[in-house]
Structure 1
Amino acid sequence: MIVARYLALLLPVAAVLAADRLRERGAGRDRNRRAGCGAGRDRDRRAGCGAGRDRDRRAGCSAGRDRDRVTAAPVAGRDRDRAGAFLAFLAAAVGVAALHEVAIRAGWHSFAGVDGAYHGMPVDLWLGWAALWGAVPVLLRRLVPVPVALGLLLWIDMVAMPSLDPLVRLGPHWLHGELLGLAAVALPAQLLGRWTATGRHLAARVLLQMAVFTGLVLWLIPSVAFTLGDGGWEHLLDLSGSARVVAAQAGMAAAVPALAAVREFAVRGGGTPFPWDPPERLVTTGPYAYVANPMQLSTVLLVGLLAAATHSLTLAAVVLGTVAFAAGIAAPHEQADLRERHGAAWLAYRRQVHDWRPRARPYPAEPARLWLDDDCGPCAGTRDMLARRSPVRLRIVPAATHPATLRRARYEAADGYTASGVAAVASAFDHLGLGWAYAGWFLRLPVVNQLAQLITDAQIAPPHPAEGPR
């Protein structure tokens, strides 16, 4: 049994290292073939990498700025590969833990009682399983497409799971759990890891990341804290109906800044919250116009509420440890990275926006214009309300002067972001103050925005062409 446990952990780890080595070798061969910096006739004929000034000036195969340009893309690609593999591993780890809870209740499989187990599942087997379903196929993605990877994982599990007896005890319908795991855990982990490595499908990457980190922060970490310390989910279930409603509303209120910040990263920055898959542009709008760490702030509030509701001092200690880690270790690293990538723009932003203490008025970021119809009663009322509150870097313009015929309010920012209807007015709220901005973040959330637009169109201001002198 001990040998089986070590093999279950060591084989996937060895596979990860081997896959990473194979990927680096392949990337190195491709880089040398494309850059022309190796030995041989291609170097002599095209690159001109011999000694002398011509080598430095034209070929860039020695030290200097041209070499940095040639090698920058492979280095960035290598970082993205590892970021994708790590995300896939994390997604698989959370998913396997959830699958284990379902499997135990369904009788699909169980494990022998051993030391170093979490809820009856050996931790080394858990980590090895996550590496096999997550990181390994992502590192080998150039050789193994997703359908082939899933087929290989099914074959490996069908061979390995029965052979791990008595460590693993299989039920009569264990294949049902296997197929569910491949579809609900391995497939999403593979898609997240591969899309991160290649920089594709931004919206899908963001949604998958949100699912993974929500499960990690609001389910797996608290469950581990309850197992190792005090508190438990039963305290949450013992709350009265009205108390549960209040707790749910408080949790949603705490989550709004984080959800809005994730949206801002994707829509305005072209990236994700994951540190190794960041936005391409510096984001200083939305919640970031008021506080530099909206996601961390929301996370601390959410986990703090959960600790109170579940009577867990251990989880409360996790919250304090998270704040200390973010302030003392993560923040200096993140700030150095942002300073290097964004320079003076980031320095100007950080001089005025704090990590944990929100501003009352927004940071003067991107200037924007809001087009409203002067001949529409509700639109004119909205215009007057906004003007009375002295919006920061927002110009309100008659909709009739827009080059196109507008049928709803329209918001346009200098960075190219646009919104119409309720989303346009909600975006304008960002320029007023913290309370109004919070309302705007909520109104721009998916589903909420669509419902608000339906109500507005039906009962407040139906879509109509803005007419008047142009």
Structure 2
Amino acid sequence: MTLIRYLALLLPALAVVGAGTPCGRKDRVGAFLSFLAALLGIAALNELAVAFHWYEFAQVDAAYRGMPVDLWLGWAALWGPIPVLLHRYLRLPVALGLLFWIDLLAMPRLEPLLHLEPSWLHGEFLGLAVVALPAQLLGRWTATGRRLYARVGLQMIVFTGLILWLLPTAAFTLGDGSWRHLLDLPGPVLGVLAQVAAVLGLPAVAAVREFAVRGGGTPFPWDPPARLVTTGPYAYVANPMQLSMIAELLLLAGVAHSLALAAAALVAIAFSAGVAAPHERGDLIGRHGAEWLDYRRHVRDWLPRAQPYPAVEPARIWLDDDCGPCSATRDFMARRSPVRLDLVPAATHPTTLWRARYTAGDGYSATGVAAVASAFDHLGLGWAYVGWFLRLPAVDRLAQLITDAQIAPPHPAGGER
């Protein structure tokens, strides 16, 4: 029995079982995300299998980098959406055990389409751990509405991999260009390019953070924030994620000498403007109405504003007048005429503050360096960019440690002391 025949029998049978289960909108969204995660992971696993000689496929038509496309899609369905649709009946350890059992029985019998080396189980265990498991977690957490920040993190990994690895690799394989052009560059040049890529990608990362922290949702259009997000990068441009994505792809296309990838980036712009934008408009008007219409009257799709959206969430920052660095920070902000930000003496706060504190009208709050970084959103695009960087995970903690140790140690202000 060939692998294609095996999947042709197995997958429809499992799909029929899945179709008979209660399946709501969140289940379908989770299943789709798990499919994307598995699709990306299996493509990466195939690259490792070739490099480490775990297994290889016979040459067939309709293959991608040596892997039959129909097998790729069927394998992704098996490791992703089918167990997710059955999540009410299959606990995660049981699902992973079944996937291992199916592969253990089937793969050795798939000659001549698939040739297994003695070390093929190494790839199997790695695939279950770093492909099937994350795909199942993403799908199941999405279907049940749990672990928001973990979902957002997994989505970021999946979509970054799809856009910045799988899409370019496909463009290089089917068109022109090569990763070799990038990898052959001198170390200092690679360092500069990495910094440029980080600068271009920062608005997207900051936007994802705003969706999770301020909006209570994810970047995926069918798992969106509950509230309209007009803070962070969204105070300056309506499509920060798309803008970063296109900039990164064009940078990579130039470095890799790929007209095909540049064309793909331009097609992505056309798709966003012509197909995605009308759908987004109808969805957001339905969910947020006049609030979203007012926002879009002031904030453009692709060209950032110099100053934040005039109706950005009003906020306050409490800074201690008796602290030299704190008062200097207050004066620095005041000179820049912040938009909808009140600078308030920490001594007037009803409770004791040990660091600067920022609070916004939507209930968001931050302390210390994160408070100052959040306030930078109200000063203009350049300083907002600095604030987005300072609020990155790990960067915020490091900046706080340095501030506490060398600039402004925690000290009490306000409240009854």
Using the alignment, how far apart are the partners of 1:401 and 1:456 within structure 2?
Answer: 23
Q: Is the counterpart of residue 336 in structure 1 residue 282 in structure 2?
A: yes
Determine which of 400, 422, 443 is the counterpart of 2:369. 422
Give yes or no for contact 1:254–1:302 (8 Å, CA) kept in 2.
yes
Secondary structure of 2:80's aligned partner: helix
Structure 2: gaps of 5 or more residues: none
Q: Report how far residue 178 of structure 1 moved.
A: 0.6
Using the alignment, how far apart are the partners of 1:82 and 1:11 within structure 2?
Answer: 23
- Residue number in structure 2 paired with 1:441: 388
The one-letter amino acid of 2:335's match is R
Determine which of 309, 313, 319 is the counterpart of 1:372. 319
Deviations 1:368-395 (A, max 9, x none): 0000000001110110111111111100
Secondary structure of 1:23's aligned partner: coil
Using the alignment, how far apart are the partners of 1:469 and 1:196 within structure 2?
Answer: 45
Using the alignment, how far apart are the partners of 1:93 and 1:11 within structure 2?
Answer: 20
Secondary structure of 2:317's aligned partner: strand
Q: Is the counterpart of residue 207 in structure 1 residue 153 in structure 2?
A: yes
Secondary structure of 1:397's aligned partner: strand
Max Rg structure: 1
Secondary structure of 2:342's aligned partner: strand
Secondary structure of 2:112's aligned partner: coil
Q: 1:469 to 1:189 in 2, by over 3 A?
A: closer
Determine which of 16, 19, 26 is the counterpart of 1:18. 16
Q: Report how far residue 4 of structure 1 moved.
A: 2.6
Using the alignment, how far apart are the partners of 1:232 and 1:372 within structure 2?
Answer: 52
Determine which of 154, 174, 178 is the counterpart of 1:228. 174
Q: Is the counterpart of residue 109 in structure 1 residue 55 in structure 2?
A: yes
Pairs within 5 Å for 1:28-427: 78-363=24-309, 364-427=311-374
Give yes or no for contact 2:351–2:415 (8 Å, CA) kept in 1.
no
Using the alignment, how far apart are the partners of 1:132 and 1:449 within structure 2?
Answer: 40
Secondary structure of 2:312's aligned partner: coil
TM-score by length of 2: 0.97
The one-letter amino acid of 1:426's match is A
Give yes or no for contact 2:351–2:416 (8 Å, CA) kept in 1.
no
Give yes or no for contact 1:300–1:319 (8 Å, CA) kept in 2.
yes
Using the alignment, how far apart are the partners of 1:79 and 1:268 within structure 2?
Answer: 23
CA RMSD of aligned residues (A): 1.4
Q: Report how far residue 16 of structure 1 moved.
A: 5.8
The one-letter amino acid of 2:396's match is N
Give yes or no for contact 2:370–2:396 (8 Å, CA) kept in 1.
yes
Q: Report how far residue 433 of structure 1 moved.
A: 0.5
Secondary structure of 1:141's aligned partner: coil
Give yes or no for contact 2:212–2:218 (8 Å, CA) kept in 1.
yes
Q: 1:276 to 1:11 in 2, by over 3 A?
A: farther
The one-letter amino acid of 2:327's match is A
- Residue number in structure 1 paired with 2:397: 450
Using the alignment, how far apart are the partners of 2:242 and 2:38 within structure 1?
Answer: 23
Using the alignment, how far apart are the partners of 1:266 and 1:425 within structure 2?
Answer: 20
- Residue number in structure 2 paired with 1:54: none
Using the alignment, how far apart are the partners of 1:348 and 1:273 within structure 2?
Answer: 22
Using the alignment, how far apart are the partners of 1:214 and 1:256 within structure 2?
Answer: 13
TM-score by length of 1: 0.86
Secondary structure of 1:269's aligned partner: coil
Deviations 1:94-133 (A, max 9, x none): 0011111111111111000111111111111111100000
Give yes or no for contact 1:407–1:464 (8 Å, CA) kept in 2.
yes
Q: 1:468 to 1:158 in 2, by over 3 A?
A: closer
Determine which of 2, 8, 11 is the counterpart of 1:4. 2
Secondary structure of 1:369's aligned partner: strand
Q: 1:166 to 1:469 in 2, by over 3 A?
A: closer
Number of aligned residues: 416
The one-letter amino acid of 2:370's match is A
Using the alignment, how far apart are the partners of 2:225 and 2:414 within structure 1?
Answer: 39
Q: 1:11 to 1:324 in 2, by over 3 A?
A: farther
